[in-house]
Chain A
């Protein structure tokens, strides 16, 4: 049991790599592979996917032989979910709402990701950052991004 616990982090790490290698290698089979002289689009991804798969197995084996035994550490799920949501919100709404409104939602969600920020602070930070970004990017740097969008009545 002890060996397994010591190796846990590396086993997980290896598993992720193996999964990614498999995914790329299998995905590559959907394209024409070809031969070294006339490589198809699938050749490189297939070869690299197989190498990645092998490296993943290597990571697992090394974990059992010489696992560092470090803990993975707690995951701050609140931060993970809210930060991802903040970015997705921007991507989904920026065309409809324009930069200003989309940014307001994004900074609200993002600042909520830190549990110790109070609600008042969250509002102040997001409004402040939205104003700052709009002034900085649209008025000072003159980036060509739409300030408002068709979803808004004004």
Chain B
């Protein structure tokens, strides 16, 4: 069995002592930051990225992945304990999880979230191992026309699943693409929009963009109105769920895992959609549906499993197509590129240790999450009490020193300030920063493939619809756009997201 050989290679890589160690550190840091409200995984990964530059690529990506799914899990701890989701996908967990905590069952709620995440994460890891290589094989046959259409589909689909105004999201994508053109043109070497600043020739630093838009802009938003937090402070006792609890969580975990694994592959807010979807399913099909909304364990188990499964499977498009399904994955792409690895279908063949090592490390990381989080719950509760007046200057300080260390370039710091202000203005005016970041990361790829495809076709734009795969991808993109604008679907979408606020 080739699969077992590959998993063996992955196991060997993931079990190397430095990889184990940094996987552990990543999961720990990710959970810590996921617990803190006000700083999300995107800003965290961007902040911690410089640390990983001295690592081997596989160690770096293993640690960054650990931060990512650790943050997913940490967000649910915050959601349960203070009813303030640290991460958008944890918003549904807050509904019943916090209710359980108020009934004095915070322990079992946290344990359920951990168990559900572990089971879902383990299954989803197998899904990645099974489906990624064949998909990569298909993607290897793609030419520039297909890639261009694929990027277009990825960008459009990311807004079909997101919330808010479609036209505003489109505008953000295009604006992101435009900022992606800053720097030297790859074909002619002409510097574009650099205003004579040499430091901008290599383009705007994407760490600066991410830290500015998701870190600094968020601080400005939070300083406007500081929310008070209601912490369930009484001592958390009895972590272990009862036998009855276990019986009740089996089916929701199974349903959540299936739904999450499927939705995680989709571009856009797949994991957010997965947890909301799982909640809706439990509300409709659970045997105890009357209890849901009043602290039902099913409504914690289902969404938590779905959310974690989706977090794992969202690595599939990243590893096979080089396409990030959401902004966090866009940062992973940036990290790989900095390490000299172009993410895409060739990764499976050219970097087998990295590919399979990452997959196995995700399973190990999920195991760490279970053994780590339950005993450390007291620490997380104390972290929740760090006042914001200390937290936000710390974010600014870490952003400055971390970004500066990438290239010792002060312009990267100025860029943080610029994108912080731009992000703040745009968010104030009702725009979402996520499509901007996706557009920014994918911009150069889009332009490169567009130009290459048109050179091949001698300037004939019909190449995009004459090649069947490309035509299908573009048709799907058009369909996604129509779906996003149709009033009936829009309404449904708003309903799904309404509980998030």
Residues of A within 8 A of B (CB): 9-10, 12-13, 16-17, 20-21, 24, 27-28, 31-32, 35-42, 44-45, 48-49, 51-52, 55-56, 58-59, 62, 68, 70, 72-76, 79-80, 83-84, 86-88, 90-92, 94-95, 99, 102-103, 106-107, 110-111, 113-114, 116-117, 121, 125-126, 128-130, 132-133, 137, 141-145
With A37-B455, A48-B178, A91-B413 already in contact, the answer to whether A145 and B408 are too (CB < 8 A) is yes
Say which residue of A41, A48, A129 sits within 8 Å of B397 (CB atoms). A129
Q: Mark B147-181, 1 if CB is under 8 A from A, else 0.
A: 00000000000000000010110110011011001
Chain B 372-429 residues near chain A, CB threshold 8 A: 388-390, 392-394, 396-402, 404-405, 408, 410-411, 413-414, 416-417, 420-421, 424-426, 428-429
Query: At the interface with chain A, which of B89-97, B187-195, B238-246, B297-305?
Result: B187-195
Q: Are A45 and B192 in contact (CB under 8 A)?
A: yes
How far, in whole Å, are A31 and B401 apart by their CA atoms in the complex? 35
Q: Are B174 and A13 in contact (CB under 8 A)?
A: no
Interface check B482, CB cutoff 8 A: no
Closest to A88 in B: B417
Residues of chain B within 8 A (CB-CB) of A38 are 455, 459
Say which residue of A48, A59, A145 sits within 8 Å of B168 (CB atoms). A59
Q: Nearest Cβ in chain B — how far from A24, in angstroms?
A: 5
Interface check B489, CB cutoff 8 A: no
Residues of B within 8 A of A (CB): 50-51, 54, 165, 167-168, 170-171, 174-175, 177-178, 181, 185, 187-188, 190, 192-193, 216, 219-220, 223-224, 388-390, 392-394, 396-402, 404-405, 408, 410-411, 413-414, 416-417, 420-421, 424-426, 428-431, 447, 450-451, 454-455, 458-461
Say which residue of B171, B192, B398 sits within 8 Å of A56 (CB atoms). B171
Q: Are A36 and B167 in contact (CB under 8 A)?
A: no
Say which residue of A13, A44, A87 sits within 8 Å of B447 (CB atoms). A44
7 inter-chain pairs at a CB distance below 8 angstroms, sorted by A residue, are: A49-B178, A86-B396, A87-B216, A103-B401, A106-B400, A143-B50, A143-B402
How far, in whole Å, are A37 and B459 apart by their CA atoms in the complex? 4
Query: Nearest 4 CB-CB pairs, A to B?
Result: A37-B459, A91-B413, A41-B185, A13-B429
Q: Are A130 and B220 in contact (CB under 8 A)?
A: no
How far, in whole Å, are A51 and B175 apart by their CA atoms in the complex? 10
Q: Nearest Cβ in chain B — how far from A93, in angstroms?
A: 9
How far, in whole Å, are A130 and B396 apart by their CA atoms in the complex? 11
Q: Nearest Cβ in chain A — how far from B76, in angstroms?
A: 27
How far, in whole Å, are A40 and B455 apart by their CA atoms in the complex? 12
Q: Nearest Cβ in chain B — how far from A56, in angstroms?
A: 7
Q: Nearest Cβ in chain B — how far from A37, in angstroms?
A: 3
Interface centre among B429, B431, B461 (most CB of A within 10 A): B429
Q: Are B51 and A143 in contact (CB under 8 A)?
A: yes
Q: Are B397 and A94 in contact (CB under 8 A)?
A: no
* Beyond known contacts A37-B458, A68-B430: 13 more, CB 8 A cutoff: A13-B168, A31-B185, A32-B188, A38-B455, A41-B192, A44-B450, A52-B175, A70-B430, A76-B220, A107-B397, A133-B401, A143-B402, A143-B405
Q: Nearest Cβ in chain B — how far from A70, in angstroms?
A: 7
With A55-B167, A56-B171 already in contact, the answer to whether A103 and B451 are too (CB < 8 A) is no
With A17-B175, A44-B447 already in contact, the answer to whether A91 and B410 are too (CB < 8 A) is yes
Residues of chain A within 8 A (CB-CB) of B393 are 107, 110-111, 113, 125-126, 129
Residues of chain B within 8 A (CB-CB) of A56 are 171
Q: Nearest Cβ in chain A — how far from B392, in angstroms?
A: 7
Q: Nearest Cβ in chain B — how far from A116, in angstroms?
A: 8
Residues of chain A within 8 A (CB-CB) of B220 are 76, 79-80, 83
With A17-B175, A125-B393 already in contact, the answer to whether A27 and B458 are too (CB < 8 A) is no
Q: Are B414 and A88 in contact (CB under 8 A)?
A: yes
How far, in whole Å, are A141 and B63 apart by their CA atoms in the complex? 14
Residues of chain B within 8 A (CB-CB) of A32 are 188, 190
How far, in whole Å, are A92 and B404 apart by their CA atoms in the complex? 12
Q: Are A87 and B171 in contact (CB under 8 A)?
A: no
Closest to B224 in A: A76
Q: Nearest Cβ in chain B — how far from A117, in angstroms?
A: 5
Q: Are A31 and B50 in contact (CB under 8 A)?
A: no
Q: Nearest Cβ in chain B — how far from A140, in angstroms?
A: 10
Q: Are B392 and A114 in contact (CB under 8 A)?
A: yes
Say which residue of A48, A87, A113 sits within 8 Å of B414 (CB atoms). A87
Residues of chain B within 8 A (CB-CB) of A52 are 171, 174-175, 178
Closest to B414 in A: A91
Q: Are A16 and B401 in contact (CB under 8 A)?
A: no
Q: Are A90 and B404 in contact (CB under 8 A)?
A: yes
Closest to A74 in B: B224
Residues of chain A within 8 A (CB-CB) of B216 are 83, 87
Q: Nearest Cβ in chain A — how far from B376, in angstroms?
A: 20
Q: Are A41 and B187 in contact (CB under 8 A)?
A: yes
Say which residue of B181, B397, B410, B411 sits within 8 Å of A44 (CB atoms). B181
How far, in whole Å, are A95 and B396 apart by their CA atoms in the complex? 18
Q: Nearest Cβ in chain A — how far from B383, in angstroms?
A: 15
With A41-B190, A111-B389 already in contact, the answer to whether A9 and B429 are too (CB < 8 A) is yes
Residues of chain B within 8 A (CB-CB) of A45 are 178, 181, 192-193
Q: Are A80 and B421 in contact (CB under 8 A)?
A: yes
Q: Nearest Cβ in chain A — how far from B319, in angstroms?
A: 28
Q: Are B414 and A31 in contact (CB under 8 A)?
A: no
Say which residue of B54, B177, B411 sits within 8 Å of A91 (CB atoms). B411
How far, in whole Å, are A42 and B165 apart by their CA atoms in the complex? 30
Q: Are B167 and A62 in contact (CB under 8 A)?
A: yes
With A70-B430, A95-B410, A143-B51 already in contact, the answer to whether A103 and B167 are too (CB < 8 A) is no
How far, in whole Å, are A16 and B324 apart by their CA atoms in the complex? 28
With A56-B171, A84-B421 already in contact, the answer to whether A72 and B51 are too (CB < 8 A) is no
Q: Are A137 and B178 in contact (CB under 8 A)?
A: no
Residues of chain A within 8 A (CB-CB) of B398 are 133
